[in-house]
Structure 1
Amino acid sequence: MAAPSWLRLRRMVIGGVAVLLTAAACGSGPAEENQGGGTPVDGGTLSVALSAEPDSLDPAGAAQAAAHQVFMQIYDPLVWLNPSSGEYVGGLASSWTTSSDGLTTTFKLRTGVKFQDGTDFNAEAVKFNFERILDASFKSPVARAKLGPLKTVTAVDPATVELTYSSPFPSLLNSLSQHWLAIVSPAAVAKYGTGYGQHPVGTGPMSFVEWVTGDHVTLQRTADYAWGPSFLHQGKAYLDKLIFKIVPDDGARSAAVQSGDVQLAWNMPAADFSLLKKKGSDLTMVAAPWSGGSLSLFLNTERAPTDDLAVRQAIQYGISRTDLINTALFGIYTPAEGPISPRTVGYSKSVEGRYAYDKAKAESLLDGAGWTMGGDGFRSKNGTRLALKIITQAQFNPIATGVQGLLKPLGFDVAVDIRAAAAATDANGKGEGTGGITGLVDSDASGIQLFYSSKNYGGFDWSRIKDTQIDDLLSKQAVETDVAKRNQILGELQTTIMDKALIYPMYQGAFLYGVSSKVGNLHTNVLAYPYYADMWLNP
């Protein structure tokens, strides 16, 4: 799989991230180590409790982590990223070559692969998928950005596809290894139209059975699956069925895995995770750290009072991250100080210490901005109270209420508005509140463009910015093939975001899993999502 020197170097750096992820997890049940290993067992039904309902099972039209948990099992990508070695290995593409100028990559595709509806996978299918994402009329919240400056897609012959770029795209293989760009069945898209996201068809190890809204999604193994990546077991999935139960309530999700109603719970509530880990229950608590963007409170720069830089900076100085994590999250997580997680390539230490906790500094900023403390314990300015409204989903309620409590002594009146995941996402995209909480799960730093590019205004640009300086830095890093130079640009990008106080970074992200002793061979990719088709159920 020949590649130019800059692409090989990029691959090596990505490999460093994978190794670091493994090491970082070791203190709390490393994601890369197998849970409940032993002899593989064929058959059985694994039930998983999800904290949110998928927004869509069309990878090109989805944006939520809950959706990724599900559709990663239904589809295959062109290439895979081995989480242990950091090397890219064949998926639906068996090999690839890149031109010396980095503008054209040619993929040789696997032959004999079928979609789950019986239609053939081939170069025309790849062309259809990528041109569908490129189509301006198709609203793709994540996948479009993952394709970068793609110019043309050419089906050279049934087993060969060529991607031509208008400028070098160093993140190509990384992007293709993520399931946002997994290949869907063209025939199924034609059949279901706008309803395709509820009737997914891929080439993956698990096939779609049903989606009962608000309750569950059921998958079954693909009987003739035989093209998995080299670092997973070969052949069909061990499990007969995989049921994702929608359990947004933290207490109910925790109870479900403790009672055995499900064998694995995703996004365990921090309180129960901490308690069960300490008391040594029959469950194993696994904290699987992910790379990408820090879990942050995004501050709306268009709505008062967070339209004022002084107020946004006061929030930075006025909340102790350590206190927030200890009081709201039982000390499970590690504080974050910038928009990118330290586990991610391109992280800059220049953000560290930029906003060390300083209550006096926060008070001074608010005083200077004209916000006066009243006898009721809240600040006001020209008769208007210093009020914030955080719109978020149930899983972030503890951290939101933690922010609420820690900002009150400074005179902030913070309201926490809990909504369903999709509704909270929509509201923050429209700028209905002064802030929303989210993070980015991504194996490449360029993924943060989702949050900070003016192209995503009205989408995941929850800070509601149209900043030419940030746009310029995002554009430069996207085409820079020299790793050192790209990291320098990413460093400037991070400091700019923090100088403008667009977010309050809270902690480095990790998915908390509660796992039954019956589950064998649990391990995850660099995004902390499990390879369910590689797992089995012990008797």
Structure 2
Amino acid sequence: MKKIFAVLATMLLVTSLFVGNAAAEKVLKVGISKEPANLNPVLIHGVYGESIAGNIFDTLVSFKESAKEAAPLLAKSWTISADGKVYTFKLRNDVKFHNGDAFTSADVKYTLDEIMNEKNASPSAQFFKPIQKIETPDAQTIVITLDAPYAPFLLALGSQTCGILPSRAAAAVGMEKFSRSPIGTGPFKFVEWAPDDKIVLEKNKDYFIAEPKLDKVVFRPIPKPETMAAELLSGGLDLGGELLPQDIDRMKKEGLVVKSVPGLTSRYLGFNAKRKPFSDLRFRKAVYHAVPFDQAIPGIFREAGDRAYSWIPVGVLGDDVDYMKSRTLPFDMAKAKALFDELKKDGVMPEKFEFTIYSPQDPQRKKIATVVSTQLRQFGITVKVETPEWATLFPMLKQGQCDMYAMGWGSVPDPDRWTYKIFIPDSNMNFSQYDEPIVTEALKQGRSASDPVKRSEYYKTAMRKALVEDFIHIPVAFLNTTNVMSKKVVGFEPSPEKYVHLVTAKRNVDLK
């Protein structure tokens, strides 16, 4: 009998230990506003995919702790030649991919080659056009030679869209399949993707910086901010963002933690430069005059954003905010009517004009489009607001099929990343189909200039032409990045780019 009791006691002890260990598993539940299209850095477009991929993949250099200064990551050191054309990186020799393959210079070369491969149509390809050749003298050295100095090159290498792929594994399955089964060197491994439900990552115990304190991370796409708020309040989420201002106020009162930083995210209105009457400067100026942006923006964004006057955020090289603000068109119904009447008289716009403004499904951009629609109705113009799924809207925007649209942008604090892809004619992110030689040349010069003063002037030239002479876009707002989290979350800080950095050289997010 004593033996039986002893066996039972041992079984109970083992069971209790097992249950205790299971209960102790730390799973961070994160809400994101959109499900990404893929998780392959070569093909990623959009902050949601980049944010998740940043936890699966590592880059050569890191901007996770300082958006203005590159820190070592997969590259432990580097040198730049005196002429600014040759970058030599010494790589870590203690890094393995999640499948066990050793990380080498061949993987870096493969990743860059795939980004530049026209067949992949990588959204990041334009940032690597200056590359002339890539050499791998040995497994821990990579030498990249540019055809001209390129000031933001380290930023391009440090972007989440330049996460390094395992060459053998990625080549074996191809870019598309790799998008749904990503393998990196980062702090978390990909586990599962249940479409429209969740993306699950688990910790990489062998991560070279530090073992993650979290066991798993579950990213849940929740497009409606009201639902995101409800999930945070109920405990269904530990961390979320892009919430309505009134919900943020309510969650503060409920004891949740709210953290904000000035963001690197914008909202803007764009016009199609290839279709009438949107291609006519008078129409664009008339819309600008017709909308009371000074009154509308605080109503839409409250404390979550401030009016924008340029594409380049305040504090970033070339921001030019005073000049741009002084050239902003005021709300003036009489001027708007005069311009619309002139367009009708000249046969550019029909008497009963109807068109559609497109926007993603988030409430802020939909409200921007709705304000424009409401205002233009007073001039006899019928404007529909449509908010298709992103998978439908993005191809339409890329192909120049949207006459007018309310969109957004987010990037790192370098003017090239805020302007080049948006305004260069051959970019698939130039949704307006805008083609202005003065702007194109200034942006190309801004890429190669090493002197910050000269660089700044190039970007001022480009933005003054595009935004306060041609009015091809109407800047609306720069947003703050605000995250709401449970008190259980330890060590998380918002990112200006809206990324979710969980493990870096200076942080290791935990759940208590």
User: Could you say whether these structures have the same fold, taking a TM-score greater than 0.5 normalized by the shorter chain as the test?
Assistant: yes
Q: Aligned residue for 1:18?
A: none
Match of 1:269 among 216, 238, 244: 244
Q: Equivalent of 1:366, from 340, 353, 372?
A: 340
Tell me, yes or no, if structure 1 residue 240 matches structure 2 residue 221: no
1:168 equivalent in structure 2: 149
Choose from 168, 178, 185 the match for 1:203. 185
Residues 272 and 408 from structure 1, CA distance in 2 versus in 1: closer, same or farther, beyond 3 angstroms? farther
Task: Report the CA distance between 1:224 and its aligned residue.
Answer: 0.4
User: For the residues of structure 2 that align with 1:148 and 1:288, how far apart are their CA atoms?
Assistant: 33
Q: Residue 299 of structure 1: CA displacement?
A: 1.2
Aligned partners of 1:288 and 1:528 also within 8 Å: no
3-state SS in 1 of match to 2:220: strand
Aligned equivalent of 1:296: 268
Deviation at 1:410, TM superposition (A): 4.3
Paired position in structure 1 for 2:435: 466
- Provide, for residues 186-205 of structure 1, a one-character-per-residue CA deviation record: whole Å limited to 9, x for no partner: 12212321211111111000
Residue 64 of structure 1: how far off its partner (Å) = 1.2
- 8 Å contact kept, 2:306–2:478: yes
Identity fraction in percent: 24
CA distance in 2, matches of 1:252, 1:161: 47
Name stretches of at least 5 consecutive residues in structure 1 with no aligned partner. Answer: 1-41, 228-234, 373-378
Which amino acid is the alignment partner of residue 53 of structure 2?
Answer: F
For residue 455 of structure 1, what is the aligned residue in structure 2?
426
Partner of 1:346: 318
* 1:254 has 2:225 as partner: no
Partners in 2 of 1:106 and 1:117 — Cα distance? 27
Question: 2:105: which partner in 1?
Answer: 123
Shift in Å at residue 237 of structure 1?
1.1
C-alpha change, 1:113 and 1:394, in structure 2 (3 Å) is: same
Amino acid at match of 1:521: G
Matched, 1:145 2:115: no
Q: Which amino acid aligns with 2:486?
A: S
Q: Distance in 2 between matches of 1:370 and 1:311?
A: 10
1:511 matched to 2:485? The reply is no
* Structure 1 residues 536 and 95: alpha-carbon distance in aligned structure 2, compared to 1, 3 A threshold: closer
Match of 2:14 in 1: none
Mean Cα deviation higher: 360-369 or 338-347: 360-369
Residues 408 and 186 of structure 1: CA distance in aligned 2, closer, same or farther (over 3 Å): same
8 Å Cα contact 2:359-2:388 kept in structure 1: yes
Which of 127, 130, 135 is matched with 1:154 structurally?
A: 135
Give the secondary structure class of the aligned counterpart of 1:60: coil
TM-score, normalised via structure 2 length: 0.88
d(CA) in 1 for partners of 2:122, 2:70 = 25
Cα pair 1:311 1:366 within 8 Å, conserved: yes
Asked whether the equivalents of residues 214 and 511 of structure 2 are also in contact (C-alpha less than 8 Å), the reply is: no
Q: Alpha-carbon deviation of 1:475?
A: 1.1
Q: Where do 4+ consecutive residues of structure 1 move more than 4 Å?
A: none
Which of residues 25, 28, 32 in structure 2 aligns to 1:46? 28
How far apart are the structure 2 equivalents of 1:274 and 1:455? 43
Q: Following the alignment from structure 2 to structure 1, what is the Cα–Cα distance between the partners of residues 136 and 128? A: 17
Q: Deviations over 1:293-329 (max 9, x none)?
A: x321111122333122111111222222232222223
Cα separation, 1, equivalents of 2:158 and 2:495: 11
* Alignment equivalent of 1:99, drawn from 66, 78, 81: 81
Partner SS state of residue 306, structure 2: coil
Cα distance, 1:453 vs structure 2: 0.7
**Matches of 2:249 and 2:316, distance apart in 1:** 26
Is 1:415 aligned to 2:384, yes or no?
yes
Q: Does 1:390 align with 2:358?
A: yes
The 8 Å contact of residues 33 and 221 in structure 2, kept in 1 or not, is answered as yes
Aligned mate of 1:319, from 276, 291, 306: 291
Q: Say whether 1:332 aligns with 2:297.
A: no
- Give 1:286's aligned residue: 259
Q: Deviations over 1:456-506 (max 9, x none)?
A: 1xx211111232222211211111111101100000111011111111111
Work out whether residues 325 and 331 of structure 1, in 8 Å CA contact, stay in contact via their aligned partners in 2: no
2:445 is equivalent to residue 476 of structure 1: yes
Code of the residue aligned with 1:266 in structure 2: it is G
Would you say the 8 A contact 1:435–1:462 is kept in 2?
A: no
Counterpart-to-counterpart distance in 2, 1:403 and 1:83 = 39
Could you tell me the TM-score, scaled by structure 1's length?
A: 0.84
Aligned residue type for 2:224: D
The structural deviation recorded for 1:51 is 0.8
Amino acid in structure 2 at the alignment position of 1:353: S
Shift of residue 519 of structure 1?
1.2
* Native 8 Å contact 2:422 2:431 kept in 1: yes
- 2:352 and 2:380 in contact (8 A); partners too: no
- Report the 3-state secondary structure (helix = DSSP H, G, I; strand = E; otherwise coil) of the residue aligned with 1:362: helix
Q: Displacement of 1:526 after TM fit?
A: 4.5
Seen in structure 2, the aligned counterparts of structure 1 residues 307 and 384 have a Cα distance that, compared at 3 Å, is farther
Q: In the superposition, relative to structure 1, how do residues 220 and 92 fare at CA in structure 2: closer, same or farther (>3 Å)? A: same
**Structure 1 stretch 82-91 or stretch 299-308: which is displaced more?**
82-91
* CA distance in structure 2 between the aligned counterparts of 1:285 and 1:400, rounded to whole angstroms: 28
Change (3 A) 1:538 1:214: closer
C-alpha displacement at 1:525, in angstroms? 4.1
Give the unaligned 5+ runs of structure 2.
Answer: 1-23
Separation in 2, partners of 1:188, 1:524: 33
1:109 is aligned to 2:91: yes
Q: Is the 8 A contact 1:83 1:526 kept in 2?
A: no
Q: What's the CA shift for 1:535? A: 4.8
Name 1:401's counterpart in structure 2.
370
Instruction: Write the letter of the residue equivalent to 1:368.
Output: E
**Cα distance per residue 1:380-432 (max 9 Å; x no partner):** 94444153432433343233223323443344422110111222212222233
1:229-256 Cα shifts (integer Å, max 9, x gaps): xxxxxx1111000000111122212211
Of 395, 402, 410, 1:433 maps to: 402
Change in 2 beyond 3 A, CA 1:505/1:412: farther
